[in-house]
Amino acid sequence: MLTFLNKKIPFNFGFTNQLVIALVLGCILALIMIFLGPFDTDRFQSSYKHLILGGFGVLLSIFYLVNSRIETWWYHYQNRKWTIKFEIIAFISLVIITSIPIHFYNQIFLNDFFSQGYGANEYIRHGLWFFRSSMIPIMLALLPFFIYFRNTFGQLDTSDSLKEIELFGTNRGEKINIQKHKLLFVKSSENYVEIFYEKENSVHHAIFRNTLTAINEQAPFLSYCHRSYLVNTSSIKQIRGNSQNAKIEFRHNLQIPLSKTYYKKVKSSLSV
């Protein structure tokens, strides 16, 4: 069972793909609410009924995207490892974080709950009931779509698929192809990034207008080692110092800082 849960599966680390999935799931939920009328929503009467019911889908899209950005942080924190266990946790997290705003929205627009003089205790009890009887069934109905689209748009991080990568900036013509094992690290400097890599037994660098987040999406095997640095852990020669003043050392006597936040993760990835 544990072996199955730890099996690596594709992951969506690109913002564009995450946005597409968010919009698709939101549209599916909106259509369910409008045309199937689950949980007595078919009895709801309003001049703006379809617009209000469609709002459930908008909320799902927004909070799916929020949840996805948290997943992306965790994906990089785990050194680009995404497993069935993480996928299950991600879905449960999505159910939980969407249930709160959706319940609030439901009470405001469909039940007119707050005009009836109910207190906090009644609201919480109703929220727990709503979670059990409404959120869990509707999210389970969306689960097959959740699995299908995430698997379709996801990518499995393997060494073979990343032998050569393309990095690019936001300005026209800012593009470079680098072999994965030649890339050393990327440094952020205001609105620019400096990409350091080896070529012909010496260190070169390219400066593009972009962000570390965007570069990390282009090269997901890179790991944060500092808020201003991404590092290719396979290129690290050694780590010097303790967690308070650690430095990452490369060939050619090149060093970059390793912050306390990422010290254990980077160090464990080297098995040192």
Rounded Cα gap, residues 21 and 64, in angstroms: 8
* Strand pairing report for 164-168 and 202-209: unpaired
In order of 57, 100, 152, 241, 245, the CA distances from 53 in angstroms are 8, 16, 28, 57, 54
Q: Please tell me the predicted confidence (pLDDT) of residue 2.
A: 62
Q: Do the beta carbons of residue 17 and residue 153 sit within 8 Å? A: yes
DSSP 8-state class, residue 221:
T
Torsion angle defined by CA atoms of residues 100, 104, 110 and 114, in that order, rounded to the nearest 10 degrees: 140
* Residues 6+ positions from 19 with CB-CB distance below 8 Å: 65
Which one of 164-168, 201-205, 242-246, 259-263 scores highest in mean pLDDT? Answer: 259-263
DSSP 8-state class, residue 78:
T
Residue 131 reports pLDDT greater than 70: yes
Q: Please tell me the predicted confidence (pLDDT) of residue 186.
A: 97
Identify the band that residue 45 occupies on the pLDDT scale cut at 50, 70 and 90: confident
- Identify which has the larger pLDDT, 176 or 15: 176
Instruction: Kindly state the percentage of the chain with pLDDT values over 90.
Output: 54
Residue 160 reports pLDDT greater than 60: no
Give the start-to-end residue ranges of the domains of the chain: 2-153, 160-270
Rounded Cα gap, residues 234 and 271, in angstroms: 11
Residue 159 reports pLDDT greater than 60: no
Average pLDDT value for residue range 218-236: 92
Identify the band that residue 1 occupies on the pLDDT scale cut at 50, 70 and 90: low
Average pLDDT value for residue range 106-111: 87
Average pLDDT value for residue range 35-63: 89
Average pLDDT value for residue range 105-114: 82
Average pLDDT value for residue range 210-218: 93
Amino acid residing at 103: H
Average pLDDT value for residue range 169-182: 89
Q: Please tell me the predicted confidence (pLDDT) of residue 157.
A: 64
- CATH no. of 160-270: 2.40.50.1020
The model's pTM is 0.62
